[in-house]
């Protein structure tokens, strides 16, 4: 059985090697992994690095102009022949050398269309990190403001053949769109894995271009959610914010009470 790992890149000479090595060092690389690299006609040394490793490892790759990241990801889908697909873009890397092999029994025996795990998000400048743990509960509310991390999500290839690929007119949120379609509208089967799959360096366009993210998210919400869904979700968010505010106030009051009691005790015992 083959798992296709797809890496899309452009002018990524400082990042592509880290990603490729994390894939090629998997201890089941020869037996169970098909590696597909889609380069967007880089003008730096990215192609040279890919060529260097393709001379040593069985890598399927092309380098040609594209219209954006989702156009490149769709090219990768067409080239891939594995039963499950994982998108690991330049700069991101698998958490350790045994992560794919540890999941092979699940892949071989699985009837699930989408299998997903956790993602370690790292800020390369500050060194700060957090784990994006999605959990098992997915629904319309979740996809209104969030999505599955593609770096930690394995899709059956026939899911794309049935329901189509990524919408290429967006630069950031096509992941969210296709996940909402698959999991909420088409209700494909899913399986959550309680472990970290990959590491994501959050210095790319989706993390740093907040203005574009908000603009595309607004279009996504207006085009893919009904008015009733939007109203229900917004009301739920307001209720959750109110609850959090109340909890914060209670915590602050408890803290102030402890401080006052301590001051009173110090005053009595002075």
Range 3-224 has CATH code 3.90.550.10 = yes
pTM for this prediction: 0.82
- For the stretch 101-111, pLDDT in tens is 999 999 988 78
Lowest average pLDDT, out of 120-134, 182-196, 212-226, goes to 212-226
pLDDT of 11 above 90: yes
Point out the least confidently predicted range of 49-63, 156-170, 181-195, 241-255: 241-255
pLDDT category at 203 given cuts 50, 70, 90 is low
Q: Stretch 161-176: mean pLDDT, rounded?
A: 91
- Identify the band that residue 249 occupies on the pLDDT scale cut at 50, 70 and 90: low
Q: Where are the domains of the chain?
A: 3-224, 226-270
In DSSP terms, 114 is beta-bridged to 155, 190
Each residue's pLDDT tens digit, 204-235: 545 556 788 788 888 888 887 888 877 777 77
* Mean pLDDT of all residues in 173-201: 91
Distance CA 221, CA 227 (A): 9
Q: What is the pLDDT of residue 248?
A: 64
3-state secondary structure of 78: helix
Please report the pLDDT score of residue 270 as a whole number. 60
The CA distance from 99 to 79, in Å, is 23
Which among 186, 194, 180, 113 has a CA at the least distance from the CA of 152? Answer: 194
pLDDT at 160 over 80: yes
Owner of token pair 């029994």: 105
- Tell me the pLDDT band of 27, cut-offs 50, 70 and 90: very high
């Amino acid at each position: 059985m083959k798992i296709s790992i797809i890496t899309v890149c452009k002018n990524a000479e400082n990042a592509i090697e880290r990603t490729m090595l994390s894939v090629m060092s998997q201890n089941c690389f020869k037996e169970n992994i098909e590696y597909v690299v889609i380069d967007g006609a880089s003008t730096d040394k990215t192609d040279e690095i890919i060529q260097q490793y393709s001379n040593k490892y069985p890598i399927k790759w092309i380098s040609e102009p594209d219209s954006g990241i989702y156009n490149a990801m769709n090219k990768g889908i067409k080239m891939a022949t594995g039963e499950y697909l994982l998108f690991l873009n330049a700069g991101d890397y698998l958490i350790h050398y045994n992560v794919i092999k540890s999941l092979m029994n699940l892949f071989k025996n699985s009837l699930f269309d989408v299998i997903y795990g956790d993602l370690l998000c790292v800020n390369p400048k500050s060194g700060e990190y957090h784990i994006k743990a999605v959990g098992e509960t997915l629904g319309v509310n979740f996809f209104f403001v969030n999505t599955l991390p593609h770096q930690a999500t394995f899709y059956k290839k026939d899911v794309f053949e049935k329901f189509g690929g990524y919408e290429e007119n967006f630069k950031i949120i096509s992941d969210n769109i296709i996940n909402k379609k698959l999991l909420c509208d088409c209700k494909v089967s899913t399986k959550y894995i309680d472990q970290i799959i990959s590491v994501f360096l959050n210095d790319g366009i989706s993390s740093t271009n907040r203005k574009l993210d908000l603009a595309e998210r607004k279009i996504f919400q207006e085009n893919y959610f009904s008015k009733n869904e939007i109203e229900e979700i917004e009301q739920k968010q307001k209720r959750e914010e109110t609850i959090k505010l109340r909890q914060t106030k209670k915590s602050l009051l408890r803290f102030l009470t402890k401080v006052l009691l301590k001051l009173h005790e110090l005053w009595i015992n002075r």
